[in-house]
A = this chain, B = another copy of it.
Amino acid sequence: MAAKQTGFVRKTKQREVILEVLRSTKSHPTADWVYQEVRKKMPNVSLGTIYRNLKTLTEMGEALELSYGSTYSRFDGNPENHYHFVCENCGSVIDLDIPVTDALEREVAEKTGHKAASHRLEFYGLCRDCQTNDSTNGSLH
């Protein structure tokens, strides 16, 4: 579950491009979206390589894996902890510029005895765009 047992991590062109693609967007893309983008630069890349490297990058602390809903993961090229807003109309996942409060973790430790090392906070509702456009149901991409 941690890094490989005896091996080390080699630098590959594939992982480089994958990280490049991941950092080029704020859309918190799925593995398949990354796959399609990477294929534009490396037509022969394998989907398995995408999954493999997204996992490796996450373990290396270069990316975050998000999972809203149970069907698929999204990935985040910004590895620093931050909060997200998930629009229930258009499906977009938006970074929030509000401070990460470690005070919450202390509160949990004090009140419950469970020692939190991290926390995750997400908001669900209507994003700014979907409030003005009164479409009943957005595109969801």
Contact = CB atoms under 8 A, between A and B. Distances in A.
Interface of A: 65, 67-70, 72-73, 85, 87-88, 94, 96-98, 104-105, 107-108, 111-128, 131
B112 A96 contact: yes
A132 to B, nearest CB: 10
A88 B114 CA distance: 11
Contacts of A97: 111-112
B116 A125 contact: yes
Contacts of A112: 85, 94, 96-98, 128
A140 to B, nearest CB: 10
Contacts of A94: 112, 114
A12 to B, nearest CB: 24
Contacts of A119: 121-124
A112 B85 CA distance: 10
Nearest to A111: B98
B114 A128 contact: yes
Contact of A114 (B87, B108, B111, B115): B87
Given A69-B67, A111-B98, A123 B116 contact: yes
Given A115-B125, A118-B124, A125-B116, A96 B108 contact: yes
Given A67-B69, A115-B125, 7 more contacts: A70-B70, A85-B116, A97-B112, A114-B125, A116-B123, A116-B124, A119-B121
